[in-house]
Amino acid sequence: MTDVTTNAPTPVSAAGPGQESPNLRLAGTSAGPVTEEEAGLLGLRASLVRTLASNQQDATEIRERLERAGRRDAIREVTGLDAFDRSARVAMDLLSRVDARLDEIDVRRKAGRIEVDANAESLIRRP
């Protein structure tokens, strides 16, 4: 069910004490419990994605302010790139390395995969 005004899904209540809430995995990733290493990598990945989003928002706001004030970014004038470009590239590189490590863990585990079919009505377990 969705909220008509925002088209966002209705929030689901948290599991009560002593109850386990379901864990969702990315489609195509190994099924089964998440290891401590995976949990750390997934946490790092989420942090990097938030950092990238924040970086892009800040960059847009600052670039617009400079433009409105009729000023130029001195770093960009000298190097051709501003500080936001550099930090975004570093974050994307880290994100790629985290994804590669998660892929290595999946390959090493050789577990089955659980995917949702095209109709999203049933789960398919793949070796």
User: Backbone phi, then psi, for 126, in 5-degree steps?
Assistant: -120, 140
pLDDT, mean over the chain:
73
Tokens representing 114 are 């659980």
Mean pLDDT of 96-115: 77
Short-list 41, 14, 46, 17, CA closest to 30: 41
pLDDT in tens, 66-105: 889 998 887 788 888 787 888 888 889 999 999 999 888 8
The model scores a pTM over 0.85: no
